[in-house]
Amino acid sequence: MSAPSIGEMRLRMSLEAAVDTPDDSGAMTRSYVPVGDLWVMLSPLSADAQFVAERQEQAVEWIAHIRWRSDVTNEMRLVAGARRLRVKSVHDPDGRRRFLLCRCEDIE
């Protein structure tokens, strides 16, 4: 997979980090806080239909190409409007700290 040009990164998305807070019953409540805004190029990776709780659901995976940052982890998500992408893995394709490839999954 070749590195995108900067001009191909046209989608503006917010990078959000997970924050777990204990509630009164001892369970954890997860919320997200914005870390920063990024320019992103999304490429479809795969789509899969599966039955969950006796109904069909669609799972779509994407590769999000972003500029390299040291703080991106698989505990984060990318958000643009109503679209939410959970980051599943992060990879520096050539080890030169220029770009990151984030494997993401649509969150409904």
In the chain, pLDDT over 70 holds for what percent of residues? 97
Give pLDDT, residue 88: 97
In the chain, pLDDT over 90 holds for what percent of residues? 74
pLDDT over 70 (residue 1) = no
d(C-alpha 27, C-alpha 29), whole Å: 7
- pLDDT tens for 55-85 read 777 889 999 999 999 999 999 999 999 999 9
Phi/psi of residue 67, nearest 5 degrees: -65, 150
Phi/psi of residue 7, nearest 5 degrees: -65, -20
d(C-alpha 107, C-alpha 73), whole Å: 17
Structural domains in the chain, CATH included, are 6-107 (2.40.10.270)
Q: What is the mean pLDDT of the chain?
A: 91
Token pair for 32: 């997200």
Whether residue 45 contacts residue 61, with contact meaning beta carbons closer than 8 Å, is answered with yes
Phi/psi of residue 6, nearest 5 degrees: -60, -35
